Amino acid sequence: MTYNRIKNNNARVIREYVFFLKNARRRSEKTIDTACRAIASYLTFSNHADLATFNKIKAVKYKDWLQEPITGKRLSLTTVYTYCRCLANFFIWLHDKAGYKSKFSLMDCEYFSFTQSEYAKVTQIVGDDYPDFKYVRSLVNSINRSDEIGFRDSALISFLALSGIRVGALISLSMQCFDSAKLIIYQNPALGVKTKFSKPIITVLHNLDRNMIDIIRSWNKHLQKRGFSNTDPLFPASKVNLALNDYFFQKPEEVEPIYWRSSGPVNTIIRRRTTQAQLPYFSAHKFRHTLVAEMDKYITTPLELKAFSQSLGHSQTITTLQNYGNLSAEKLQETLLGINTSHSKQEMICKLEEALKIARRN
């Protein structure tokens, strides 16, 4: 088979797989893009060999190849794991296609797997990698709100911290999705909000800081006064202005009713504002962890925990508990050392029962 024919066959099955992921598995663009990057890396490794020549030896060698420095930079173990998982899924799907079933065994896909030790490193829970709420207050208060850009940025960061909304939903949120009076956020995919798995989510702005809530409400009112419609973005892009000579851009001073196309501008805003405030940078997603850690101080019942978890878009509360707001090393030590070991649970139960008997007699 000629090189061009092999290349065309590979391209054809990859297009079919993308169609399968998008329309049968209903995967997001981000997930599909990751799968395509993984397949592209395998084709680079194999020098664009026919995908039908895949076998267990290639799977093992591919894993080793991924962990070698590429263009001077070594991929993280998490990226290697993600690529291997994507490729295992791809070749399992490919095995069922005509012309491929007899070429390799399904068991060959098992050779993309990781050892228990490697898997533990990939999935380990790392604490203290998100800002606390004191940091958020300092960041918001450091922003000069005298111009529209500063006003938007302070409202945006406040919104992230008080709602725990994902960035994809934030940048696609229209004004009609926010009830300023009740502080309710309707993350409705039918209204264009890009939620994870296109799931409708009802969120609120948690009353953790009155100043930050006032900033958000004022921002919403400001946009209404400017004539923004219900279908315009709640957090619009900066208006780009050319200088008089049309050779360079002026610093933006106002926004225009245009949605951002990616999360990049949001993280750029946070990076710029943290640099100005001389604070360490955290990505927008880390503010979800901040909210979980802060709300943990106030949630006292299973019902409250379930409602909070659901507002984050989690189907199960275990997702919130396991993946968000992990304790830092210092907080972990403090909590463990603070456990009262002077009395057993049974002793405490006996004391409570005795107290109840006395209360009933009185």
Where do the domains of the chain lie? 3-123, 133-294, 332-362
**141-155, 186-200, 238-252: the lowest-pLDDT one:** 238-252
The token duo for 307 is 């409602």
Region for 355 from its dihedrals, namely left if φ exceeds 0, alpha if ψ lies in -120 to 50, beta otherwise: alpha
Which residues does residue 184 pair with via DSSP β-bridges, in sequence order?
179, 204
185 pLDDT above the threshold of 90: yes
Count of Cβ atoms closer than 10 Å to residue 238 Cβ: 19
- Picking from 189, 176, 153, the residue whose alpha carbon sits closest to that of residue 313 is 189
pTM passes above 0.85: no
SS3 of 52, please?
helix
Confidence of residue 211 (pLDDT cuts 50, 70, 90): very high
Query: In the predicted model, what is the mean pLDDT of residues 318-333?
Result: 71
Taking CB atoms within 8 Å and a gap of at least 24, the contacts of 30-36 are 34/82, 34/86, 35/86, 35/89, 35/90
CATH number of 133-294: 1.10.443.10
Using the Cα atoms of residue 34, residue 40, residue 42 and residue 45 in order, give the sign of their dihedral. negative
pLDDT of residue 318 exceeding 90, the answer is no
Beta strands in 219-334 (DSSP E): 241-242, 249-250
**pLDDT over 70 (residue 357):** yes
Whether the pLDDT of residue 126 is over 70: the answer is no
pLDDT of amino acid 120: 75
Of the ranges 6-10, 200-204, 229-233, 322-326, which one carries the lowest mean pLDDT score?
Answer: 322-326
- Residue 30's pLDDT is 85
Which of 317, 335, 328, 332 has its CA nearest to residue 135? 328
Which pLDDT does position 191 carry in this prediction?
Answer: 96
The pLDDT, as a whole number, for residue 78 is: 86
- What are φ and ψ of residue 185, in 5° steps? -115, 120
The set of residues, in sequence order, having a beta carbon less than 8 Å from that of 171 and lying 6+ positions away, is: 194, 233, 235, 259, 260, 262, 263, 265, 266
Whole-number CA gyration radius for the chain = 26
DSSP output for 264-282: HHHHHHHHHHHHHTT----
Region 5-21: what's the mean pLDDT?
91
CA terminus-to-terminus distance, the chain: 94
| Mean pLDDT, all residues of the chain | 87
Mean pLDDT confidence for 296-302: 88
Q: Say which residues have a Cβ less than 8 Å from residue 175's Cβ, sequence separation at least 6.
A: 220, 223, 224, 228, 229, 230, 231, 232, 233, 234
* C-alpha atoms less than 13 angstroms from C-alpha of 11 in its C-beta half-sphere: 6
- Asked whether the predicted pLDDT for residue 278 surpasses 60, the reply is yes
- Residue 354 CA to residue 358 CA, distance in Å, equals 6
- Residue 64 token pair: 């080793």
The answer to whether residue 331 scores a pLDDT higher than 70 is no
Residue 158's H or E segment, with its range, is helix 148-163
Give the pLDDT confidence score for residue 196 in this predicted structure: 87
Structure confidence at residue 169 as a pLDDT band (50, 70, 90): very high
The closest of 79, 14, 74, 73 to 43, measured between CA atoms, is 14
Mean pLDDT, residues 224-237 taken together: 96
> What mean pLDDT is predicted for residues 74-91?
91
pLDDT band at 134 (very low <50, low <70, confident <90, very high): very high
